[in-house]
Amino acid sequence: MPDIVVIGSYVVSLTVRVPRKPVIGEALIGDLFDMGPGGKGTNQAIAAARLGARVNLVACLGDDSFAGEAEQLLECEGIATEHIHRIRDVNTGVGMVTLLPSGDNMIVGHLGANLLMRPHHVEAAEQLIAQCDVLMAPLEAPLETVARAFELGRKHGALTILNPAPGQPLDPNILANVDLLTPNESETRILLRLAPDDPTPTLDLTDRLLDLGVGTIIVTRGEKGAVIVTAAGTEEIPAVPVQALDVTGAGDSFNAAMAVALGRGEDIGSAVERANRAGAYTTTHLGVIDGLPTTAELETFTV
């Protein structure tokens, strides 16, 4: 059972389906409502726990009723919450999703307490980081906090996985402490300060990222699977062909499954194969948390 520490985040999504796009000033009543927990860090923590890892999440919640629900959910999923902090006078992270009948959506959000996660929050978890097999993080906490976590991960010899999502350019001093960087195709471009749809071939861009000091890059490519890039070359691992229903959270599922496999000592090729399988599983379910597989569900998943 590998030990995994996840750095940030918790966000609750409030989704309303409306018959059409609202216009400015209009109060449009919807026909469907869903409230669900998420945030990339929480998704990755829950996914890793369901796949058999011992998981600690370091994250900040606000001072509201969402925080209590978050704590209950994490406990229920078997995630250690001793480094979940409640911050006074601030809201828990929220995302408000307006869903159109076409399946397109519009989201406005506020990261709330996630933005107040400071380096001292990860320093308080140094003991755990020192004992873990894998330290992983998305980019939903302030960069100085993520940077400190990766410094500590490197100091103590953990395998460090950075999922640079949501995409943003990163300083080489953060990348230097990253063993595995896992951007999707648009994030690969954003990391290099290019437009998200820049036409340069992805594999030309990953060479530039290797030059910045990252050991291994795993680019996730949706229905095309993933490609492993190191200084020694590239290896494409095809996706599991599925009829995707909802691709939200596929990347979180992928990252968690890969982290668990690597934490168990599997080689990178088979870890990415397993991660492709987990990502594909997630796309066949509506909603993120409902689509994160347990080990048994992943084993019996057939396409």
What residues make contact with ligand ADP under the rule CB under 6 A? 165, 184, 220-223, 225-226, 239-240, 242, 244, 247, 250-251, 254, 276, 279-280, 283
Closest CA to 135 of 160, 165, 164, 152: 160
Q: Which is nearer to ligand ADP, 152 or 253 (CB)?
A: 253
Helix (H, G, I), strand (E, B) or coil at 91: coil
Smallest separation (angstroms) from ligand ADP to the CB of 11: 15
Distance (Å, rounded) from C-alpha 145 to C-alpha 142? 5
Phi, psi of 291 (to 5 degrees): -100, 10
Smallest separation (angstroms) from ligand ADP to the CB of 220: 3
Smallest separation (angstroms) from ligand ADP to the CB of 243: 8
Distance (Å, rounded) from C-alpha 247 to C-alpha 66? 25
Sheet bearing 233-237, strands edge to edge? 84-86, 54-61, 3-7, 134-137, 159-162, 180-181, 216-220, 226-230, 233-237
Q: Prior bond to 293 cis, omega within 30?
A: no
Q: Where does the chain show beta strands of DSSP type E?
A: 3-7, 11-17, 32-38, 54-61, 84-86, 93-99, 105-110, 134-137, 159-162, 180-181, 216-220, 226-230, 233-237
Smallest separation (angstroms) from ligand ADP to the CB of 280: 4
Q: Which is nearer to ligand ADP, 84 or 240 (CB)?
A: 240
Q: Are 158 and 133 in contact (CB under 8 A)?
A: yes
- The single residue of 3, 133, 179, 252 carrying the catalytic annotation is 252
Q: Which is nearer to ligand ADP, 150 or 254 (CB)?
A: 254
Q: Which is nearer to ligand ADP, 179 or 187 (CB)?
A: 187
Smallest separation (angstroms) from ligand ADP to the CB of 121: 25
Smallest separation (angstroms) from ligand ADP to the CB of 144: 24
Q: Which is nearer to ligand ADP, 112 or 138 (CB)?
A: 138
Length of the chain, please? 303
Number of other CB atoms surrounding residue 50 within 10 Å: 24
Q: Which is nearer to ligand ADP, 7 or 67 (CB)?
A: 7
> What is the rounded radius of gyration, in angstroms, for the C-alpha atoms of the chain?
19
Query: Is 171 in the active site?
Result: no
Distance (Å, rounded) from C-alpha 159 to C-alpha 134? 5
Active site residues: 252
